[in-house]
Every structure is written in C-alpha cells, then in structure tokens.
A and B are shown apart, each in its own frame.
Chain A
Amino acid sequence: MSKQAAAVPKKKRSFMELMKRREVQRGLVIVLFMFVPLLLLMTFTYIPFAKMVQFSFYDMKYIGERTFVGLQNYIDVFQREDIFSSLFVSLYYMGGAIVQLALALFFASLMVFKERGASFFKGAMFFPYLICGIAIGFIFKFFYARGFVLDSILQMFGMNMEDIPMWLQDQSINNIALAATSVWRYTGQNMILFLGAMMSVDSDLYEAASLDGANKWHQFIYIILPSIKSIVVLNLILSISGSLSAFEPPYVITNGTMGTGTYFVIMNRIAHENQKVGLACAMAIVLLAIIILCTVAQKLFFKYAFDDGTSDESKAAVRKRKKAEKAAKKAAQRAKGGQAK
C-alpha cells in the first residue's frame, strides 16, 4: 500500500476513487497475468502428476479396463531384473557427469587469463552442445561402429583390430562409450558457465592482488575458485538428476539393447510398446522420489557445509571464528577484572 500512501492527494474523494480503481486494476492484473501460466502448469504438470499417482496402483493399458492391484507395481519396479538393473546403468552417467565437471573446470581455468585463440577453442568445445540429441546419436553410432571412425583412428596409432573392443556390444565397455557421448556434448557448455562466473569477478580484485604481489596461481586459488563455488555446486546437483534421467544416447545409438537401457529407455518401452501404463507410472514415481531425495540431501549437505553454497566461509570456519571471538572477549574481561582488582 506504500505506493498509494506516497501519493497523498489534495482532495480526499478523488483519492478514494483512485484507490478503488487501483484495487480493481490490481486484482485484474493478477488474475489476467497468472491465468494462462497457471492453467498450463495444472494441465501439463499437476493433473498428469495426480493421475500418475492414481494409475500407479492399477494394472491398465491406455484404453480398456483397469484393475486395482495395490502396491504390486511398486513391488515389480524393485523385483523386475530389467528395471532395477537400469538404475545401475545411471551410475555410468553419474561418473560421466563428474568427469565432465572436472574437465570443464580444468579448461575454464586454462582459458580464464584471456589467451590467444581462446575464442576458437571456446567455440570448438561449446558447439557440440548446440547439436540436437538425435544428430549426436547418429554421429556416435557412426563413430563407434565396428571398423569405422574410432577403430580406424586406433589402427592408425598401431592397434590391432583384435585388441579393439566392440564399443557398443561389449557389455564391459558399452555404457562407458555411451556416457562419453554426453561428456562430449556437455563439457563445453559447463566450461562456458564456469568461465562466465570466473569472468564476472571484479577486475579491481586482480589489480589489488597483483599489487600485493600475488602471482597468477595465487589469483586462481584465492580469487577465482571461491567465485565459482556456488555454480559448481549447482551444476553438480543438476548433473545428478540429469544422469538419472539420461535418455537420448542409449535410445538412438543402441536402442537400449546389450544392457545399455537406462531407466527412461526401459520406462519408455514399458509405457509405449508394452502399454503397461500402471507399471510405467510407478517407475516414474519411484524415479521422482529418488530425485527429490537426492536434491534434498544435497541441499542439506551444502547448507551445512557452506551455507547454501553461496557464502565463502564454511560453517566450521564460522564456528571457529566465533569461538575465537568469545575467547578473546573473555580474556579481555578477565584482563579488565584483573586491573580493577
């Protein structure tokens, strides 16, 4: 109401009128501007979500009869070999996500002190992110196919064809090969994010640091790294839920065969090919529960460790400092008391 209060009018009546009109207008704006987004949110997120919860207790197809089966679908999620083992496939993508963050951090720090040719390297590494997932799938299907790109390169370096594994068929390596494609795709993008955060550091800080005799290594450790802590944490959280929902690489490249089916590939098959809608819904809910658990656990962890990941001082450091302050106060009081005596 401060807006209206600020405009104290000369005539009381016109003020009341203005108020009235403002109130009506306010309500109108709120309703009009929120109607469409809320309608969309309900229709495409919350109603489907509610239905998903409901369907997960039924044995049903898209069309036809449904029978209530209680928790049977949930039991199936954990007992069916193909579903449960697909959760372990996600671990490969999680490993990939961590490699990708590390590589992105490494290359971002190589490029932070503007170097010659930086824009070319930046562009080359970032561009894969813009290619659509299906195209990336084809590129790597070709890349890994027996006797094609990767094999030819390895042969050029003198490897024998017999020593080269079947990248997409050999179960000990095919998931790594697939996870590598998503590392290839996202490393450059992560690097751009980190570079952006590193560059946003006030340039005065560098000047002050170099006046104080800090070299580039010191600048990196004490100025740049702390500035990107929160964005690294954010990306870690995103990449964990992202790796649980990995879909495109196995879908296009191997179609989920040979033990490469991630959770979503299996779910997609169960929902749209086998039409076991109830089971697919239960799978979706289990996945959502896992993602929420991970997000909450990570948030709590980082809240404890760094105060939501944004402050530079960790909780432990704060506690130490406060203790030291208290001790200092006590010591000072004691000293005062001693003097008084």
Chain B
Amino acid sequence: MKSQIKIGSILFSIFKYAMLIAAAVISLLPVVVCVFTAFKTTDDYNSSSVLDLPKQWMAENFSIALDQANMLRGFANTAIVLVVVLTCSIFISAMLAYVLNRFKFRGNGIIQNLFMFASLIPGIATQVTVYQIMFSLGLINHLYGYMIVLMGTDIISIYIFLQFFENLPVSLDESAIMDGCTYFGVFFKILFPLLKPAIVTSLVLKGVSVYNEYYMSNLYLQTRELRTISTALYAFTGPYGNQYNYICAGVLITIIPIFVLFLIFQKQIYGGMAAGAVKG
C-alpha cells in the first residue's frame, strides 16, 4: 500500500517536472534562438541553420543596430518619459483616490463611475479623435505632449490607490487632525508614506505598460529624434527586411535592460502583479 503511494508520487513528480521543463523551453526558445542569431556575422547567418551556434560570437550587429536605428536616443527618450510619467501619475492618482475615498461630497459617486466607465473604453479606439485634440493643442511631436497623454489615460493606478485607501483606517486621519494637522498635512505626511505597497504595484504595472507602449508613441512622436525605444525598434521593418541578425540584435537591445531589472526586482514585480490583480 505504502509503496504504491510512493510510486504514484514519483510518477507525478516526473510528470510535473516534464511539464515544467517543456513550458520553460517553449517560453525561452524563441528568445534564445534570437540570441544566437544576433551574434552571427552576415556570412555566418546566410550559410548556417538558425539553430546552429554562431561560429564566432561577434558583437558588431549590436553596434550597427544601435547606430542605425538610433536606439540610444530611444532609450534616453523612454527613460525621460518613464521617470516623469510614473512620478506624476503616482501623485495624481494618489491624491485623487484620497479625495474620493475620504470626503463625502455631491458628485463623488458620479466621478468614480466616470473613471470606471473610462476603463472600459479600449485605448486605441479613441485615438482617432484624441489625435485631433492633440493636434489642436499643439502637443504633437513634443515629448511632453506624449507624457501628458500617457498620464491622461491612467486608470489602473487610480483603482489600486482607491482600494488601498479602503484598508487604511480613518482614525489615522482623525487623530492627525486633532493634533492640528491640515488635510494637506494628513495626506503628505501621514498617508502618503503608508502607500508604499500600492506605489510599488502601480510602478510595476504602469512601468511595464509605458515601456512597451507603441501605438501612441508612433502617432504623437513622429520625428526621428523623438522616437521611444519601441518605435525605434519598429524602424527595423523597412531597411533590414530579412536580415534577422541585425533585427535580433535590436530586439535583444530592448530586452536586456528589462531583463536586468527583472532579475533584480523579481519579488517586487511578482508581488506588484498579484496585488494589482486582486485589487484592480
């Protein structure tokens, strides 16, 4: 009886690890082949099978990709956008959530519903007319215009903060007010520092979506100097056609920074994801 159970659990372990290994291989294979290809010279690429290791590991494709697609500039632009948008939208949504959660006033419910309904509208759908508004406000082809649009379409973080405020006891505010604190003081000195977990969550979710954003960046930043990392990468479609050794180098350049960040902040990223889902 006991040995039967043991055999069963061994078989189950074998099955489990076989499945997990298969999943890991499928997840990594397309990227790994890309790594091989990125290090091949053009001759090597033309003559070998894509699954072969490069004969010599050559890094020249990377410098060509960086140069040709102006990817360094793309990184710089993306970095600026990330820092500004994340900072601003955290403050904006935390402040909004504070008012909506802590004060009862006429229109509070309506405003919350307005934000909820907005989250149903898929982003790309409204861009046809947002484009017109951007145009008439003169925000096209300016990095700040793009940043403003990104902040304006930020509903996830508002939700995360609203949920988080639900769980912060009101007695905190009350005792601070009795000690003579103003409402501003309550928010900035007492509550904001307590929001750390929610801030991490929204940094992760918003950060990933901004870094990966392509559609609006393509619409509103049309000059070469303003390209972000994703539009810079897209520029590879034209000139390189089938030269996948260059394209793969470009792809890897965009992946490397996020891979490093992932290795460092793995725990926070998983935590942020999970918290965002439960609450959002």
A positions within 8 Å CB-CB of B: 3, 6-7, 25-26, 28-30, 33-34, 36-38, 40-41, 43-49, 51-52, 55, 62, 106-107, 110-111, 115, 117, 119-135, 138-140, 142-143, 145, 148-149, 152-153, 156, 184, 188-189, 192-193, 195-197, 199-200, 231, 234-235, 241, 244-245, 247-248, 252, 264, 267-268, 271-272, 277, 280-281, 284, 287-288, 291-292, 295
Contact = CB atoms under 8 A, between A and B. Distances in A.
A134 B27 contact: no
A149 B96 CA distance: 49
5 contacts: A51-B132, A200-B278, A235-B277, A288-B125, A291-B122
B244 A124 contact: no
Nearest to A292: B120
A45 B51 contact: no
A110 B18 CA distance: 11
B266 interface: yes
Contacts of B128: 48, 52, 55, 267, 271, 277, 280-281, 284
Given A134-B230, A149-B50, A192-B270, A44 B183 contact: no
Contacts of A123: 262, 266
A249 B240 CA distance: 19
Interface string B225-254: 000011101101100001010011011001
Measured as residues with beta carbon below 8 angstroms from the partner, the interface class of chain B is 35 or more
Q: Is chain A's interface secondary structure helix, strand, loop, or mixed overall? A: helix
A258 to B, nearest CB: 17
A130 B51 contact: no
A48 B126 contact: yes
B42 interface: no
A40 B223 CA distance: 25
Contacts of B273: 189, 192-193, 196
Contacts of A124: 23-24, 27-28
B153 interface: yes
Contacts of B262: 123, 127, 130
A46 B233 contact: no
Contact of B30 (A28, A45, A106, A149): A149
Nearest to A28: B183
Given A134-B233, A200-B278, A156 B129 contact: no
A3 B177 contact: yes
Given A132-B214, A139-B30, A6 B278 contact: no
A38 B254 CA distance: 34
Interface stretch (B53-61, B111-119, B192-200): B111-119
Of A131, A135, A153, A248, the most chain B CB neighbours within 10 A belong to A135
Contact of B258 (A111, A115, A131, A235): A131
A62 B247 contact: no
B120 A288 contact: yes
A133 B212 contact: yes
Given A37-B93, A196-B274, A132 B211 contact: yes
Most buried by B among A115, A134, A234: A134
Contact of B182 (A25, A36, A37): A25
A38 B95 CA distance: 12
Contacts of A37: 92-93, 95-96, 158
